Amino acid sequence: MSELGLCSRREADDYIARGLVRVDGVVVSELGSKVFPNQRIDLDRVASEAQAARVTVLINKPIGYVSGQAEKGYQPAAALILPANLWEGDASRQTFRREHLQGLAPAGRLDIDSTGLLVLTQDGRIARQLIGEDSPVDKEYLVRVEGRLNADGLRLLNHGLSLDGEALKPARVWWQNRDQLRFVLNEGKKRQIRRMCELVGLRVVGLKRVRIGKVLLGDLPLGQWRYLAPGERFW
């Protein structure tokens, strides 16, 4: 069910236990039931409506906010999700409701010293798509740096560095202007870009995430948020 994009694995377990899943028209209520590739899986109307009602929120996170739970006196980015902060350019036609905050969790992290696109979602399918080990979704960053970088250093940023004893996947890194690099990554180790830059003699003085998959930060103002629009997809 997760692979078909019907719901997340956790949601699948709940729907199966509640008798809301049919295979070839027959209700299946036993977890771990086998299904063959040629069989049809359907969600009951109640489960389908529950999936459709789940929202995904995009925030332009300012410095000083953490991605998840509050820590060390810092507020979570979710604290910004207020009607007053909803971007006037939001094109989703979604009306804010308090229940949109229930079960809303970050799909990936953005460290406290960074700004830019942060995704919070109620939809387990989107969370899996963005943070699963096999996620195909890349992320793009503008990174302002100090220091000198030679051609070999740029080559290493693209491929050849290791963190925590593991070789990093190939990245795409190039100069955006005299003091700013553009990074495109397919993985997200803790403070990865800052640590990569340190390894080649650079110091990061500003970092902003501008894209996740096909979804752009665009004109979303700092500290404001919007809903993921119907038809808008990360992959």
Q: How far apart are CA 210 and CA 118, in angstroms?
A: 9
Q: How far apart are CA 25 and CA 40, in angstroms?
A: 8
Helices 151-158 and 192-199: crossing angle in degrees, nearest 10, is 150
Alpha-carbon torsion, ordered 170, 128, 229, 66, to 10 deg: -80
Torsions phi, psi for 106 (to 5 deg): -70, 135
Q: Are 214 and 138 in contact (CB under 8 A)?
A: no
Catalytic residue among 24, 42, 111, 164: 111
How is residue 56 written in tokens? 């995904």
111 flagged as catalytic: yes
Beta bridge pairs of residue 111:
none
Residue of 230, 56, 204, 77 whose CA lies nearest to 143 = 204
Q: How far apart are CA 87 and CA 161, in angstroms?
A: 39
Q: How far apart are CA 230 and CA 129, in angstroms?
A: 17
Catalytic residues: 111
